[in-house]
Amino acid sequence: NAGVTQTPKFQVLKTGQSMTLQCAQDMNHEYMSWYRQDPGMGLRLIHYSVGAGITDQGEVPNGYNVSRSTTEDFPLRLLSAAPSQTSVYFCASSYAGFNSPLHFGNGTRLTVT
Amino acid sequence: AQSVTQLDSHVSVSEGTPVLLRCNYSSSYSPSLFWYVQHPNKGLQLLLKYTSAATLVKGINGFEAEFKKSETSFHLTKPSAHMSDAAEYFCVVSESGNQFYFGTGTSLTVIP
């Protein structure tokens, strides 16, 4: 029972490069989301999805794109990496949104130079 | 609008003494409230949740929290700290709208 799986665990990018952070869950959760964690700021929501084909913006969506073609997968794309996107990224899913607890992946540590 | 305030960024306790991590929230409706723990270089793990049932909520590893609507608080407690409790703790609030709002975290240090 894998839960929420994120890849890669670590990534270093140069400014302007693009990449995709992968997130997959095997719990048949409808709700999936991406957060970034920065020191002293808690976790901030980037994008979320309440089901396949449905996505919406969170608190800090600029510079990131998402899509949800299947229930299981919710990739996060950085279109043109900037040093301000250096952070730890967490994917989380839940059964039914706000009333259900989030299940987290182990995170991706991204450094943009 | 929803928000979460964790009143202490750092808490230090001696092993075997009680733990109190404070959380206040603002919410327009009946919120769901959660506490998560994050050990170094790990993801977040659910400790406990409040979703409009009993106001005293018991979680894993001996933690519990009490929902006090009049004080808009959801403080996390544990009677006796263990070395393995050293971690970062996050209070989270959510209501309709499918968004979860995180506090900035409280770092718990346990002194042997």
In this predicted structure, the answer to whether residue A96 has a pLDDT above a threshold of 80 is no
Strands (E), B40-112: 44-50, 56-58, 64-68, 73-78, 87-95, 99-102, 106-111
Q: Positive or negative, the Cα torsion across B66, B69, B71, B73?
A: positive
Residue B79, sorted as left (phi over 0), alpha (psi -120 to 50) or beta, turns out to be alpha
Angle at B84 between CA B81 and CA B88, to 5 degrees: 90
Using CB atoms, which residue from A45, A104, A105 is nearest to B99? A45
Q: Model confidence over B31-90: pLDDT tens digits?
A: 889 999 999 888 899 999 997 778 899 999 999 999 998 899 999 999 999 999 999 999
Write out chain B residues lying below 8 Å of A33, CB-based.
100
Say how far residue B80 (Cα) sits from the centre of its chain: 16
Most A CBs within 10 Å: which of B30, B95, B100, B104, as the mutation test of the A interface? Answer: B100
Residue A24: both structure tokens together? 């997959």
**Which residues 53-72 of chain B have a CB within 8 Å of chain A?**
none
Per the CB < 8 Å rule, is A42 touching B105?
A: yes
pLDDT (0 to 100) of residue B1: 61
Q: Residue B69: CB partners within 8 Å, gap ≥ 6? A: none
Chain A partners within 8 Å of B36 (Cβ): 102, 104
Nearest to A104 among B32, B44, B98 (CB): B44
Q: Where does the pLDDT of residue A1 fall: very low under 50, low under 70, confident under 90, or very high at 90 and above?
A: low
A102, B100 Cβ separation under 8 angstroms? yes
